[in-house]
Structure 1
Amino acid sequence: MSIFTPTNQIRLTNVAVVRMKRAGKRFEIACYKNKVVGWRSGVEKDLDEVLQTHSVFVNVSKGQVAKKEDLISAFGTDDQTEICKQVGNSCSIANPNNHL
């Protein structure tokens, strides 16, 4: 008996989930934990080195991407990179591997 492993799923490793609550909804981005600290302190300048993906999620662990309408109502734009910068500067970091 073999175990079926889906080939279309991307597993995020060494992930830190950065959360921000705005307009009554929670938004999350997937980052590298050690890079987020550097980004906030100003040491890391390249956002591509911090983010695992340039997508804004409602739930990173389930892979639920935020809706365009929710992004526009909360942030006034649907530019994923700009929203990632705003969420990245928020103060809530969680590691889903630690089940916080």
Structure 2
Amino acid sequence: MSIFTPTNQIRLTNVAVVRMKRAGKRFEIACYKNKVVGWRSGVEKDLDEVLQTHSVFVNVSKGQVAKKEDLISAFGTDDQTEILYFESK
């Protein structure tokens, strides 16, 4: 008997959920717990080391990615990488 593991499913471990509120909507990003503190204190300089995935979520734990329309209304763009870099500054 073998256990089937889906290949398209991303397991988020050691996750810290960082929430941001913009235009009356709440967005979340998945980061590494130990790297968030370093980023906020200025020790960590590379945002790619902090983020678990380059996606903006409505609910990280359920895997609900933010809708394109919500991103455009809140941030003026739907480019998730641009939103992550802009919000982290």
- State if a TM-score over 0.5 links the two structures: yes
TM-score of the pair, normalised by structure 2: 0.81
Structure 1 gap ranges (5+): 83-97
Distance 1:99 1:15, change over 3 A: farther
Question: What number of residue pairs does the alignment pair up?
Answer: 85
Identity level (%): 96
Indicate the SS of the match to 1:6.
coil
What is the Cα-based RMSD across aligned positions, in Å? 4.9
Distance 1:99 1:68, change over 3 A: closer
TM-score of the pair, normalised by structure 1: 0.72
Q: 2: CA distance between counterparts of 1:26 and 1:53?
A: 18
Greater relative CO (CA pairs within 8 A, separation 6+): 1
Structure 2 gap ranges (5+): none
Q: Deviations over 1:50-88 (max 9, x none)?
A: 000000000111111001111111111222123xxxxxx
